[in-house]
Structure 1
């Protein structure tokens, strides 16, 4: 069967619809990153195909922690209510010395992005929820049980070869291909890219339990050179234990039932617990040298691997998905030039590196190199805990690097790195609208760009929205007040909201009379003083009309390298 014949012959998706011969976006890999990307593309109305080599989503527990930023992305994808129904929200961590003394407690209560900072979930449930959400979406088709088996690309499109378990082959054309196919990504390999840079390897025994009640809902971290261990909570009576392998220990010996039983008993596992999974993982800290080539983009574990100690591996992939999804939607929809996609890696790479570094630092606390270092570290944390500011820094997880980028699709406002909101994730307070109270901000802003005015001059805000380049963004226009009596009724096209806690104003350093331009992924594109909107409008016009980012375009590999179909 020729490629042209295969493309012309209809076949059906996993959700029963005929597969088209062309999609704006093809996503390979239906893990958390790929499923999130597909759901966001559906939200933006972008036609896409999601391809997964396995017949269903993952069935065994893998990632167990989802953070506030990822939950905000689930809100953007329209699935937050479903996801939260199976999440244990807002847990903390307790760190113990070898003698069982508590030396550090992390108990975050702040919710700057609208959700608790740390939350427990079960990946099989989460993936099934995201897949189910796609079943009735008219714009996204799914193909489970089909593997990507090669692709070719030119300056106009990518042609992807697919193969099922019966050996049947099909070819699909796409404007863009996204590889969310995991650490062993065949697409990354075909591009001639590895996972290199800083490499860190440790082996840990992972034991997942069901029917495992515990007196504490917190993560328990046993910082002991003799055997570092982590016990993590989960929903519906589930729990995970992680035990570090010591030098000379083999994975085969560690998964032996007697060994597992002894380790669980020594760390307080409930005797009625049922083991549903035991395996040895090797944890890595790695980055791909490039995250794209031509019309092919890497996301999630396909381009970075993070040790699990900070719970940020899957969450980093979800950040990739949100960053990439709106850009693909706006580019394929004709609203933005293709150069917008060049901002993906520069915006994400440094934050991923920061999260890897955080995980390595936390790993050193959990598993000190020797007893003396452990004692010094644990004593230092106890002393710092006597200082309220330091105690709050750790308890509220302020050590976690906040997402921020200096390069990419942003316009600097000249306020300096410490003061500016540009390139930062906008806080998400609960606000009051004309119809409702306690509404999370993103529900007001919608799915696209937003123009947020911290000003009583609503006419100026309306005029800013009509400036030529800003108008191209088709932003939702919102005026923010501290109290209902502060400002008159807004003009047509402007919605007024009440931020009674002043969270958005505080994010701007307490300054009013500013306008924020906010992207669909809720990062701040730019800020400008009221009356100076024309300046940022001219800068935006230049950005949209030229090569926008200071980054080198990666060469497109030849067909021979990436496995062209014969």
Structure 2
């Protein structure tokens, strides 16, 4: 057995969630051991949709340009009735055009490509070690650390320790199993056949949803002439019935697939709405499918896991660096759990539209959508995806500011394009980085200068002033000034905060707003909610393999 080594964080599972977490931690300077029982990343298509919030997380991980090179950006969804006299009627159209977080709302991707990109990106970090073909046998923890027993591909045993362990090892999580915890919720009787095609030429740019109670079908676009088809199994049908080659051929033919396309994958799955009762066990955490399973209809399974990774990454880094106390980590589940259930409920509602229970249910639902198209605000509510619950925390690492529904506290800050003094343009997060930021919008940097400097320096906060488009940039010592290229959602969201500054967390959520004279007290309240500042770890322990 090799000598025991110590890592600040060990991540079990190198799917998209574990790989994202390792990249985020690596960029924050935290040492990571990434353990994956398979010899390589996945080689078959699984998740197919990546949203704007996840692309923003890829931006934080420093890989978004690479990832964008492998996606079809900005596709929509068209919903159709069952055929009537041989003709289908489109009753709803979802084609969001806004980019509130800097990226298109819906994007098609290939999971094997994304995982390969994220694995390659780990090579940037000397402190991140990936072990593929290794599996977790067991682990135990005490007040100081977690001890892991691992087994390599040739049967080699290894014992390692870490400060924190994160299970990103999927629905059958070994990390969760060792805690004796099962996912709670519903496993539905519905089964769906998934068919993934390559070299599919006669494709459309959007998802098509055939809301036929007799056989609901969804067909989704993908990069490089790929396309996915999903068909609901009917009562009495077996998996073998739908997997039979003649049935597969007929279903694809009836729904417009290219007859010359190559069938890459066919599988039957059940969908789930299940969540673990706890996501933290001392120094051990769950993320992604290890913590929650979401029905596929909203395309939010993987995307929800990426939100987990970004929420957890900066908190682990802040505690390991000693900027904030370990109680900060309690806010991870408190912040993420409510939004997970919102995504589950959204997926279930969308599933009811896709798979109506009866002819009457289909007629009422589809008729209601057709009626909404008459009134532009209602039509745009659907077309612009305003029905998707935006991420918002009501408790956790934040201090409410009393502005009610207009408040940005607990929300993900919109991301505009901005211009630097030298004329370069970029998305705002490129200026903010993955750190605490005190940010204001306006022409006067005074709101940034009034809050107590000492309390903000404890957090290492950068001060940023965003001036409206066409406004001269003031010169202010210690303040980074940028100009909006277009105000849009950012300007509207910041309107209630004239003369005030926002304290942004490293994940670009708003932790608090600071008015004149109260900045120090607000920041101290935040630090206190995390249990105060923790003693900083020696620098050597922040690198993988440290003593």
1:321-351 CA-to-partner distances (Å, cap 9, x unmatched) read 0000111111112221111100000000010
Q: Take 2:227 and 2:412, find their aligned partners in 1: how far apart are those partners?
A: 32
1:482 and 2:478 equivalent? no
Q: Which residue of 2 aligns with 1:306?
A: 294
1:187-220 Cα deviation digits (max 9, x unpaired)? 1011011011344342100000001023520000
**How large is the Cα RMSD of the aligned pairs?**
1.6
Moved over 4 A (4+): 544-548
2:520 maps to what in 1?
534
Q: Does 1:404 align with 2:392?
A: yes
Tell me the residue number matched to 2:420.
433
Aligned to 1:558: none
378, 381, 394: which one aligns with 1:390: 378
Alignment pair present for 1:27 and 2:11: yes
Tell me the equivalent position of 1:224. Answer: 212
C-alpha distance in structure 1 between counterparts of 2:186 and 2:198, whole Å: 36
CA distance, structure 1, for counterparts of residue 247 and residue 469 of structure 2: 62
Q: How does 1:158-557 map to 2 (within 5 A)?
A: 158-416=146-404, 418-464=405-451, 467-486=453-472, 488-489=474-475, 491-502=476-487, 503-546=489-532
How far the C-alpha of 1:531 sits from its partner, in A, is: 4.4
Question: Higher mean Cα deviation, 474-483 or 87-96?
Answer: 474-483
SS of 2:415's equivalent in the other structure is coil
Work out the CA distance in 1 between the residues paired with 2:139 and 2:114: 30
**1:75-105: CA deviations, max 9, x gaps?**
0000001100010000000000002110000
Paired position in structure 1 for 2:53: 69
CA distance in 2, matches of 1:306, 1:246: 21
Give the direction of change, closer, same or farther, for the CA distance of 1:546–1:448 in structure 2 (3 Å limit).
closer
Structure 2 CA distance for aligned equivalents of residues 133 and 217 of structure 1: 29
* Per-residue deviation, 1:317: 0.4
Q: 2:3 aligns with which of 4, 7, 11?
A: 7
Greater mean alpha carbon deviation, residues 538-547 or residues 134-143 = 538-547
SS of residue paired to 1:521: coil
Secondary structure of 1:103's aligned partner: strand
Q: Contact between 2:192 and 2:270, CA under 8 Å: does it hold in 1?
A: yes
- CA–CA distance in structure 2, aligned partners of residues 63 and 541 of structure 1: 38
* Cα distance in 2 for residues equivalent to 1:217 and 1:318: 25
Q: Contact conserved, 2:274 with 2:294, CA < 8 A, in 1?
A: yes
Q: Greater shift after overlay, 223-232 or 498-507?
A: 498-507
In structure 1, the partner of 2:539 is none
Give the distance between the partners of 2:127 and 2:354, measured in 1 at CA.
Answer: 46
For residues 179 and 63 of structure 1, the distance between their equivalents in structure 2, rounded to whole angstroms, comes to: 19
Kept after mapping to 2: 8 A contact 1:70/1:319: yes
Match of 2:62 among 64, 78, 82: 78
Shift of 1:359: 0.4
CA distance in 2 between counterparts of 1:312 and 1:183 reads: 15
**Does 109-118 or 446-455 show the bigger shift?**
446-455
* Aligned partners of 2:49 and 2:106 also within 8 Å: yes
The range that moved more, 310-319 or 436-445, is 436-445
Aligned pairs, number: 529
TM-score normalized by structure 2? 0.94
Q: State whether residues 15 and 168 of structure 2, in contact with CA within 8 Å, keep that contact through their aligned partners in structure 1.
A: yes
Aligned equivalents of 2:533 and 2:81: distance in 1?
Answer: 54
Answer yes or no: is 1:48 the counterpart of 2:35: no
Instruction: Decide whether the 8 Å contact of 2:208 with 2:218 is kept in 1.
Output: yes
Per-residue CA deviations over 1:52-96 (Å, capped at 9, x if unaligned) read 000000000000000000000000000001100010000000000
Q: Report what 2:537 is aligned to.
A: none
Could you give the per-residue CA deviations for residues 225-269 of structure 1, whole angstroms, max 9, x where no partner exists? 110000000000000000001111111221111110000000000
Report the 3-state secondary structure (helix = DSSP H, G, I; strand = E; otherwise coil) of the residue aligned with 1:62: coil
Query: CA offsets per residue over residues 384-430 of structure 1, 9 Å max, x none?
Result: 111100000000000001000111000111112x1110000000000
Task: Note the C-alpha offset of 1:473.
Answer: 1.1
1:510 Cα deviation from its structure 2 partner: 4.6
Contact 1:327-1:340 within 8 A present in 2 as well: yes
- Whether the 8 Å contact between 1:205 and 1:244 is mirrored in structure 2 is yes
Given that 1:205 and 1:280 are in contact with CA atoms closer than 8 Å, whether structure 2 keeps it comes out as yes
Give unmatched runs, 5+ long, in structure 2: 535-547
- TM-score, with structure 1 as normaliser: 0.91
Matched residues in 2 for 1:212 and 1:430: separation? 36
2: CA distance, partners of 1:159 / 1:202: 41
**3-state SS, counterpart of residue 520 of structure 1:** coil
